[in-house]
Structure 1
Amino acid sequence: MRSFFKYVLATVTGITIVVILFFVLVIGLVLSTVSQSGNKDADVPSNAVLYVSLNHEITERTSENPLDGLNVPGYGRMKSLGLNDIVGRIAAAKTDDRIKGIYLNPSYVNTGMASLKAIHAALKDFKSSGKFIVAYSDAYTQKGYYLASLADKIYLNPEGSLEFNGLSSSIAFIKEALEKLGIDMQVVKVGTFKSAVEPFLLNEMSPANRQQVTSYLASMYGSFLSNISTARHISVDSLRNVADNYLIRNAEDAVTYKFVDDRLYKDELLSEIKKRLGVEEKKDIPAVSLLDYTGGSETEQTGDRIAVLYAAGDIVDGEGDDTNIGGDRFSRELRKLRRDDRVKAVVLRVNSPGGSALASDIIAREVELTQKVKPIVVSMGDYAASGGYYISALADSIFAEEETLTGSIGVFGLIPNLQGLLNNKLGVHFDEVRTGRFSGLMSVPDRPLTEEERAIIQGDVNNVYRTFIGKVAKGRKLTTNAVDSIGQGRVWTGKQAKGHGLVDEVGGLQRAVSAAAAKAKLKQYKLSYYPTVKDPFSSILGTSKERIKAWMLADELGEYRQYVERLRTITKSSGIQARMPYTIEIR
């Protein structure tokens, strides 16, 4: 019998090894194919239309994932592009003689307002070439319509819909849920407007928070309406009236108020595009998707370099990973770029709501040291707030989109007291022995802070805030009192921040690159991108667990996943935080 089990175990082990080897072989073949074709341009026919659909998550950089597009848990069922490639490919199509126009289908655009503005600018620049843009959708969201407004012609399915009712920002408050669980969130903070902790303490916005949300939302809405007004030749007042009174209820209303040019079915749209291209009705439209189009092989530029360093995600202590900004990892990247004589300037692309105050300070130190050696310019994305602003403040200059959310200069500490949950509901108790009066400071989770302990933590938070505003004052050439008056945790749009001296210019990444080149006195240069993307195989093996967990969470919770992830982010945070108030989502 023992021999029987031994042979069975040996057989099972052998089969397992064969399966693993087969999997590795398949992955190797995939990677080989990707490496041979990854830089090859798609087969773009002449007299073609570029199909642009943005119905996927838009990150700062395109993920180098060879399984992207396969139906594999955690890796998605479709390709996706980062903002860098969306903007770059539209720019390439502008001068590509094979591309005659764009067919834009922006049914759902999953990105922030600043990234939306960058895509809007790229489409506007494409249009300046004289090539056409035709937009069509069965249902336009507000973000989708914002992009479509640039089109020469906007069409809507006769039974379709167009959403246009103004912007809104909502916050989930979980105070009562925590109370039911017996959890008391103890907060120490600096900043009247530092409202990152409000969802844990209140059931609604504080007056100060409502004031700042109203302010930055109005600023965003003003830019949003102004750009649509210019593109569609409809007055801002008329746009406000349509939104305030919800006048567009169906496709016919959209035509009546001149938001779209006509109602068409898909076959009628295709006929319209064929006419523009001079294609016979019975033939197919020559087309290439933005997902497959690469714009042809790039001309290798020799000589000096400008490094673009992407800092996207939460700022965390230690190394972090590809989804966040690790203090140690990014400070090391900056040191390398500072010491690299081939790199003549650095553009720090920041898209972060902040995070660890300590990690932010570590990165800010390297920004300051780099600025003394070579130009370093910041380009802000959707967010560059709190810790995101901390790491930006000491650069030579700062560029932000009008819709960028920045500022939030303030810090907080969040210490949960689980006494009600552990003692009263679960029957779990902690006891300890101390060698000193403060030996047990925050060492057990089932007791509240004493007044002395709270005073100690408040003192630490105050010190971090003083350091924060001191570095902002130094970088922006302001007094600490001036920084404090516009700080206090208050969030500003890029447009508002420029008026307060927190931002130098309104503009996107390309303007920041041009400014860096001018500061370095470069006429010709090559762009290099950092952190260096890992080889695809390492990326797969290194993130499989996280991707599959994220996939399962999204599959189970759908759009409500964000609330679980936000709570997890807060509970995983340690130390004093320089973080923007919650995650702001504009609809």
Structure 2
Amino acid sequence: MKDFFKSMFACILGVFVSGFLIIFIGISLLIGAISFTSTPTYTDRPNTVLYLKLEGTLQERTKEDPLAFFDENTYITPGLDDILKAIKIAQVNPNISGIYIEANGFSGGYASIDEIRQALKRFKTSGKFIIAYGDNYTQPEYYLAAAADSIFLNPVGMLDFKGLASERIFFKNTLDKVGVKIQVFKVGTFKSAVEPYISTQMSDANKQQTNIYLRSIWSHVVKGISADRKLAVYTLNNYADSLILMQDGKQLLQEGLIDGLSYRTDIEQKLADLAGVNSIDDLNIATVPDIVTLKKYENNSKNKIAVLYATGEIDGINSTEEGIDSQKLVSEMKKIQDDASIVGVVLRVNSPGGSAFGSEQLWAAVNRLRKVKPVAVSMGDYAASGGYYISCDADRIFADPATLTGSIGIFGLVPDASELLTDKLGLTFDGVQTNRYGNFPVINRPMNNIEKKRMQEYVERGYNLFIKRCAEGRKKQETAIRNIAEGRVWAGADALHIGLVDQLGSLSDAVKWIAKKASVTDYKRVDFPAKKNIYEEFIKQLTTTVSTRVTRSVLGENYRYYMALKKIQHIDPIQTRCEDITIE
């Protein structure tokens, strides 16, 4: 009891202190922000090079980082949206002489990297230079750098080029130790998202589909590098099989994978020479955040094309990103629908899916929207399962060859945590109910046979509705969709051949198609939802951190069990979600 009161007092004190800190830091941030906004924005100057620093994990949209106010060394990795915008401005800006790409520990999906590569190729039509430098190159960095005129590597640097691999983590043994059993209900031979919970290895069907889409994506990547570097595809595959990560830089130069071995200082002088100035001191460097602030390159047309972002899991809990709140996104679609100045919409989907219920609500909203305005879908790294569900009714679907899509299937997960709750935590449950299934579903007991039967029937109805939505949207017979469904994941290039997408192309291609469909040549792009400003991000991050610390302080060692239960509690039992796929 003494420990209980100590913990409670610590909790109350922690909340009080945290509240005081929030107010204090909030005021400090406000003062700093006022000071910040009073300083001049970036000034456009001649002999400028756009510095494209590849660092961190590439996200769809740039996200404000409140810590940057307090630490000038904090680097905010630009989102794909700002990178594409900066390259587009640099292409037409007479003060920009070229682009300098620096590899510095970067990762991103190959479909997103393709977006940047295509923007760089459009930039090249201006006649300006692009050079890339890296102390080391990861495989995604090298794929992007291949679009440059020249690739330079540090004399003692390394280049990773080895092909693609995908590895899964299986939780069954861990769940067994914790005392949680996952009761699974699914439709689709290839619907492999459930496998980590019930198995310790990939099924044969999953290995088959993974092998096929990996080879499709790798073929696309190698063909791109082959065209850029003027090296045969078979030669590149031979290099990939030779573990060139360990090869000497001189060998890489001899094999044509790079154009030179240089230290960073030498590259800086080369940039000055290419920009037409005498020394690095006369060269102006502009970052992506600098360039996107140049308002004079914004189009002020009264005609608007909306780009609506649907990124992350649908109505899911994800500690690394917010995901898709279906209710909020439906509201955004209603705003777009009612705005007469918006002539068309591009739905940018980068989602592995999620809640079946949320997916259906978004499908209905897209269906209503396209009756008023033309709607195209631009697929990012993922538009699978629920991500495909919300895409299938668009007027036209664009995908990258490396996009992972399809996965038309559905599953349900109902945890049985009776062993964890009763045997490990010592909890017991008792209650009354008026009817046989009054407490269904619960996680403190396993489901009986009748409950399992009803759940499977519910999942199958959801699958049939998914098939129907896809057939209507794609203007195909349901039998044709069933033949390519079964939860199977397809790479974008293969999805084109089977009719799941209409065209291989970028976000820019989708926007241009909408403009043509709406019969406008002059238009302004407007992005939805509006990004959170730095104050909103600050309050969100701070309150989340305080809540986590207080809960951890009170629960101590039991905090991990609390988090496990919290996640289980918030999982939508019925999911249209692709498995978590990491391609390396």
* Structure 1 residue 529 displacement after superposition: 1.4
Gaps of 5+ in 2: 1-15, 551-561
Q: 5 Å matches for 1:190-269?
A: 190-249=187-246, 250-269=248-267
- Does structure 2 retain, via aligned residues, the 8 Å contact 1:306–1:343? yes
Partner of 1:537: 535
2: distance between equivalents of 1:566 and 1:127? 51
Opposite residue 209 of structure 1, the aligned amino acid is: N
Query: Partner amino acid for 2:262?
Result: L
Match of 2:47 in 1: 47
2:559 maps to which residue?
Answer: none
**What does 1:90-489 correspond to in 2, within 5 Å?**
90-249=87-246, 250-281=248-279, 283=281, 285-294=283-292, 296-297=294-295, 298-316=297-315, 323-443=322-442, 445-489=443-487
- The answer as to whether partners of 2:47 and 2:283 remain within 8 angstroms in 1 is no
Q: Percent identity?
A: 38
Which residue of structure 1 aligns with residue 522 of structure 2? Answer: 524
Distance 2:469 2:17 in 1: 61
1:420 maps to a residue whose letter is E
Deviation at 1:522, TM superposition (A): 1.5
Alignment partners' CA distance in 2, 1:274 and 1:299: 29
What is residue 556 of structure 2 aligned with on the other side?
none
Match of 1:52, SS state, is: strand
User: Aligned to 2:192, what secondary structure does the other structure show?
Assistant: coil
The change in CA–CA distance for 1:355 and 1:566 in structure 2 (over 3 A counts) is farther
CA distance in 2, matches of 1:168, 1:317: 26
3-state DSSP of counterpart to 1:129: coil
CA contact (8 A) 1:188 1:461 kept: yes
Q: Partners in 2 of 1:525 and 1:422 — Cα distance? A: 58
Query: Cα offset for 1:282?
Result: 7.5
Letter in 2 for 1:447: R
1:10 corresponds to which residue? none
* Counterpart residue identity of residue 55, structure 2: N
* Alignment partners' CA distance in 2, 1:163 and 1:550: 39
Q: How far off is 1:20 after superposition?
A: 6.4
Q: Which position in structure 1 is the counterpart of 2:4?
A: none
1:508 CA displacement: 1.1
Distance in 1 between residues matched to 2:344 and 2:68, nearest whole Å: 33
- Inter-partner Cα distance in structure 2 for 1:244 and 1:568: 45
**C-alpha deviation, 1:549, in angstroms:** 8.2
Distance 1:59 1:565 in 2: 26
Q: Which moved more, 1:453-462 or 1:528-537?
A: 528-537
Aligned-pair CA distance for 1:156: 0.9
CA deviation digits over 1:537-581, x for unaligned, max 9? Answer: 2342234334678999xxxxxxxxxxx999986763123111111
Moved more, 204-213 or 419-428: 419-428
1:536 Cα deviation (Å)?
3.5
- CA shift in 2, pair 1:570/1:406, >3 Å: farther
Query: Equivalent residue for 2:504?
Result: 506
Change beyond 3 A, Cα 1:525–1:172: same
Structure 1 position 300, deviation (Å): 4.2
Amino acid at match of 1:258: G
1:356-407 per-residue CA deviation (whole Å, 9 max, x = no partner) reads 1101101110111111111111111111111111111111111111111111
Matched position secondary structure for 2:49: strand
| Contact 1:105–1:136, Cα closer than 8 Å, also in 2 | yes
Change (3 A) 1:335 1:546: same
Deviation at 1:240, TM superposition (A): 0.4
Give the counterpart letter for 2:474 in structure 1. Answer: R
User: Retained in 2: the 8 A contact 1:377–1:396?
Assistant: yes
For 1:333, what is the secondary structure of its paired residue? helix
Cα distance, 1:34–1:111 mapped onto 2, change above 3 Å: farther
SS at 2:136 equivalent: strand
Which amino acid in the other structure matches residue 584 of structure 1? Answer: I
Alignment of 1:82-97 (within 5 A): 82-97=79-94
TM-score, normalised with respect to structure 1: 0.88
2:7 — aligned with what? none
Helix, strand or coil at the partner of 1:325: coil
> Partners in 1 of 2:119 and 2:474 — Cα distance?
30
Q: What is aligned with 1:60? A: 60
CA distance in 2, matches of 1:507, 1:566: 41
2:305 corresponds to which letter in structure 1? Answer: I
Partner of 1:29: 31
CA contact (8 A) 1:376 1:396 kept: yes
Written as runs of structure 1 = structure 2, the 5 A alignment for 1:64-79 is 64-65=64-65, 67-68=67-68, 70-71=70-71, 77-79=74-76
In structure 2, the CA distance between the partners of 1:497 and 1:33, relative to structure 1 (3 Å rule), is farther
Q: Note closer, same or farther for the CA distance 1:197–1:569 as it changes in structure 2 (3 Å cut).
A: farther
| Cα root mean square deviation, aligned | 2.9
Residues 289-298 or 251-260, more deviating = 289-298
Closer, same or farther: CA 169–565 of 1 in aligned 2, 3 Å: farther
Distance change in 2, residues 1:260/1:438 (3 Å): same
The alpha-carbon deviation at position 317 of structure 1 amounts to 7.7
- Greater Cα shift, 201-210 or 279-288: 279-288
Please give the residue correspondences for 1:536-555 in structure 2 after superposition, counting only pairs within 5 Å.
Answer: 536-546=534-544
Unaligned 5+ segments in structure 1 are 1-13, 553-563
Offset, 1:417 = 1.2
Stretch of structure 1 that moved more, 185-194 or 411-420: 411-420
Quick one: distance in 1 between partners of 2:519 and 2:429?
Answer: 63
Distance 1:229 1:548 in 2: 51
- Whole-Å separation in 2 of the counterparts to 1:541 and 1:245: 50
Equivalent residues, number: 556
Q: Which amino acid aligns with 2:475?
A: K
Q: Deviation string for 1:278-305 (max 9, x for gaps)? A: 3335745332222432262234423222
Deviations 1:77-135 (A, max 9, x none): 22221111101101111121111111111232222111111111111221222111111
Is the contact between residue 306 and residue 527 of structure 1 (CA under 8 Å) also seen in structure 2? yes
Q: Match for 2:514: what amino acid?
A: A
Amino acid paired to 1:362: Q
The whole-number CA distance in structure 2 between the counterparts of 1:144 and 1:376 is 33
Aligned with 1:109: secondary structure?
strand
CA distance in 2, matches of 1:565, 1:105: 39
User: What CA distance in whole angstroms lies between the structure 2 residues aligned with 1:373 and 1:142?
Assistant: 43
The letter for the 1-side match of 2:134 is S
